[in-house]
Amino acid sequence: MNTNYHIKSYCSIKNNQVSLNGSVVYKDEEESFSSFIKAAYKDQNTKYPKFFKMDKLSKLAFLAADVLLKNENLSSEEENNIAIVFSNKASSLDTDRKHQESIQNKESYFPSPAVFVYTLPNICIGEISIKYKLYSENSFFIFENFNATHLLTYSNSLLSSNKADQVLCGWVEFDGEDNYEAFLYLVSAEGTITNSKQDIIKLYNT
């Protein structure tokens, strides 16, 4: 299996800060996550009204993906052959709790369809795919911690078997407003950073 691939670009969102390829592009330490992500959406010119219907995990994943992919000059008319491999620890727990609360009270329970559709971690992949017309392979893994080895193996496999031209890998975790982080990176034939376990972990930790 060919393993000579590179990380073309990476985006991280944590501690109310959005960074692209190592440089901070937006930050607002004071605000709650909800206010922060809305402000970041505006600041980064995301311009996608459906953003506001998404749950917090999807907003986090979508914004990180958008900041990264917008920078890649993708075709807006044709489909793009970019596979998506995401992972996290808490699955869709934040939204699961919201749904659970809406059905807890026996006297007045009104579950919301708009909330329920987000009680799965991979819906965020669907949202990104819809915007960027990505029909490629996609999956979502649950791990105790960030697992660079798994993402490395998977992306190398997809690229060396020509299943995709590029692979968007990542860790998108949301378990409460104080406990979130997104780290996405695009693996491709081009790029200056090697797609290796060491380099992935280094970027994840910065």
Partner 1 sequence: MSKGVAITGMGIISAIGNNVAENYQSLIQGKKGISRVSKIKTNHVNDIMVGEIDFTNEALEQQLGLTSDNNYSRTALLGAIAAKQAIQDAGITDINAYKTGLISSTSVGGMDMTERYYYDYLEDKSTQKYIEGHHAGDSTQKIAEQLGIEKSLVTTISTACSSAANSIMLGARLIKSGQLDRVVVGGTDCLSKFTINGFKTLMILSDTYSTPFDENRKGLNLGEAAAFLVLESDKVVEAENKKVLAYVKGYGNANDAYHQTASSENGDGATLAMQKALDIASYNPEDIDYVNAHGTATGNNDLSEGRAIIRVFGENVPDFSSTKAYTGHTLAAAGAIEAVYSVLALQNNIIYPNLNFKTQMKEFNITPQLALKEKPLQTVMSNSFGFGGNCSTLIFSKEQ
Partner 2 sequence: MDALKQELKENLIEQLNLEDMTIADIADDDMLFGDGLGLDSIDALELIVMLDKSYGIKLTDPKEGRSIFESINTMAAYITENRSK
Query: Does 106 interact with partner 2 (rule: CB under 8 A)?
Result: no
Contact between residue 24 and residue 14 where contact means Cβ atoms under 8 Å apart? no
Q: Which helix (H) or strand (E) element contains residue 12?
A: strand 6-14
Residue indicated by tokens 């060396």 = 160
Which of partner 2, partner 1, none is residue 49 near (CB under 5 to 8 Å by kind)? partner 2
For residue 144, the minimal CB distance to partner 1 (Å) is: 7
Torsion over CA: 94, 134, 153, 15 (sign)? negative
For residue 205, the minimal CB distance to partner 2 (Å) is: 34
- Exposed/middle/buried for 52, CB within 10 Å: 0-12, 13-18, 19+? exposed
Q: Which of 24, 103, 114, 130 contacts partner 2 by CB under 8 A? A: 114
Question: Parallel, antiparallel, or unpaired: how do β-strands 138-142 and 166-174 relate?
Answer: unpaired
In whole angstroms, give the CA distance from residue 151 to residue 141. 10
CA trace torsion 10, 2, 140, 149 (10° rounding): -80
Contact stretch for partner 2 (CB under 8 A) within 82-90, 103-111, 169-177, 186-194: 103-111
Q: Which of 30, 110, 178, 198 contacts partner 2 by CB under 8 A? A: 110
**Between residues 9 and 91, which has the closer beta carbon with respect to partner 1?**
91
**Between residues 53 and 97, which has the closer beta carbon with respect to partner 2?**
53
| Residue window 31-70: x/- pattern of binding to partner 2, with contact defined by CB under 8 A | -------x----------x-xxx-----------------
Name the site residues for partner 2 (rule: CB under 8 A). 38, 49, 51-53, 108, 110-114, 117
